Amino acid sequence: MSDLILAIDQGTTSSRAIIFDPKGRMVARAQQEFSQHFPDDGWVEHNPEEIWQVTCQVCQEVLNQLPDGQTVAGIGITNQRETTVVWDKDTGTPAYPAIVWQDRRTAERCRALAAEGLEDDTRARTGLLLDPYFSATKIAWILDNVENARAKAEQGQLLFGTMDTWLIWKFTGGRVHATDATNASRTLLYNINDQCWDPMLLERFGVPEAMLPDVKDCAADFGRAIEGLDGTELPIAGVAGDQQAAMIGQACFEPGMIKSTYGTGCFALMNIGETPRLSQHRLLTTIAYRFNGKPTYALEGAIFVAGAAVQWLRDKLGIIREAGETEALAKSLTSNKGVYLVPAFTGLGAPYWEPDARAVICGLTRDSGRAELARAALEAVCYQTRDLFTAMGEDAGERPETLRVDGGMVANNWLLQALADIVDVPVERPEIIETTALGAARLAALQLGVFTDLKDLAQHWALDRRCEPMISEQERNVMVKGWQTAVQRTRAQPETDQ
């Protein structure tokens, strides 16, 4: 039997397909972007059929890249979480475009539910906040705004799924309507304590249970892909939402282990073991993974702007031509010279949750220039990580001993060292930084017997670079105090005349 796995990484702006060998090496890779639609202010939509076609194309491309005689054992899927698709179970036709996780059209509905005093109970059941980010109010919006949709849903004619479920249904020719526990836990409809769709939440959000997929372990039998692969049939054997897949790719299998993914924004997940624990800092409690019916939980925090701050330097200020320039610019300085950037372009995320905060730059002098701004943008990522790290440690009752990092930004070695210095913890970058796709591949490989258990998976995690904290506590305290002062200025914006 082959030990190669096809990982499908269905993201927010593109679909990727990567074939991995058991050591995590990429054998073949393809990626293709798809259209983004913004029909109204705060609305974000995708075409589910376009995503299906793009996903098939990248899968066929990597399968065609395989040398003669090599085959793939199975498929692992990871996906943009919370994005919502509703479709007709007989025709497969979407009832409405996919409503993307970024979409804010149901914000007023969430505020109304919170005003009714429902947030604490919902949070206790799901670990999530009442927010349009999640799937429940997206489903209800489609049912209430598409002609005859609610009637069809109540008659069992419509199905709901996140992107993993949509792809599974399409690949299996409509034979399997299923998701995994990590994606289910992001819908605001799944009780993470009882491991089931919650009847009270279904009634509260107005979602018929007949629409919902079966919930499986992350490594499980999700049926056979008989469509979309140009005649190739493969078992679908592993599924997880993108951030949980990255956690699996980083082998964060012990309580206290934490991974942080640095892209446009940043998502940090900390393993908290087999007992869910609600955050005192408005972090999310979510399912990290589930095997053999037994869930492991995580605390999750989001930084809205990480790499996007560097993009701002490039695209709006024009002081760099490419992101890679920031490393040399930051390295050219012996200190930050008191310059801080708080990149609250879209508000502040965890643990502040200040949606109306706006970005500020503090400490500029006539001597300040490109290097100071570049360093401030990179250091902002580190300070925000420290804020998350502190909140997670207080919630969990223990401070993580290391931070495992991945994502495009971590190719910057200066940033790695700055993270270690400011967060005051060793930072580890793995050899394979495509951890999201790798996690999906690992899940499928586990189900198909390529690996025996999580310990076996953990042994295949390989370190590329480790950075130890190198600055003094006094120097760190001065830098952190400056950041905290800058954040206070961000949160205390003066009122403007209307």
Burial 199-215 (b: 16+ CB within 10 A, else e): eebbebbebbeebbbeb
Predicted pLDDT of residue 492: 59
What is the per-residue pLDDT across 400-457, written as a single tens digit (0 to 9) for each?
A: 889 999 988 899 999 999 999 999 999 999 998 889 999 999 999 999 999 988 999 8
Tokens representing residue 317 in the block: 């200020």
Predicted pLDDT of residue 286: 95
| Distance, CA of 183 to CA of 218 (rounded, Å) | 10
Predicted pLDDT of residue 428: 96
Predicted pLDDT of residue 142: 96
Burial 273-294 (b: 16+ CB within 10 A, else e): eeebeebebebbbbbbbbbeee
Predicted pLDDT of residue 309: 87
Predicted pLDDT of residue 265: 79
Q: What is the DSSP string of 263-283?
A: SSSEEEEEEEETS----SSS-
Q: Which domains does the chain carry?
A: 5-241 (3.30.420.40)
Cβ partners under 8 Å of residue 485, min gap 6:
340, 362
- The whole-model pTM stands at 0.87
- DSSP class of 359: -
Q: Give the closest residue to 185 by CA, choosing from 201, 204, 208.
A: 201
**Helix or strand holding residue 95 (H, E):** none
Amino acid at the residue 58: V
Predicted pLDDT of residue 495: 52
Amino acid at the residue 430: P
| Distance, CA of 31 to CA of 29 (rounded, Å) | 7
**Which residue has tokens 């969990």?**
396
**Helix or strand holding residue 4 (H, E):** none
Q: Are 98 and 45 in contact (CB under 8 A)?
A: yes
| Distance, CA of 155 to CA of 152 (rounded, Å) | 5
Tokens representing residue 478 in the block: 């001065």
Backbone phi, psi, residue 269, to 5°: -125, 135
Q: Left, alpha or beta for 287 (phi > 0: left; psi -120 to 50: alpha)?
A: beta
Q: Are 261 and 252 in contact (CB under 8 A)?
A: no
| Distance, CA of 291 to CA of 457 (rounded, Å) | 13
Q: Which stretches of the chain drop beneath a pLDDT of 50? A: 496-498
Amino acid at the residue 10: Q
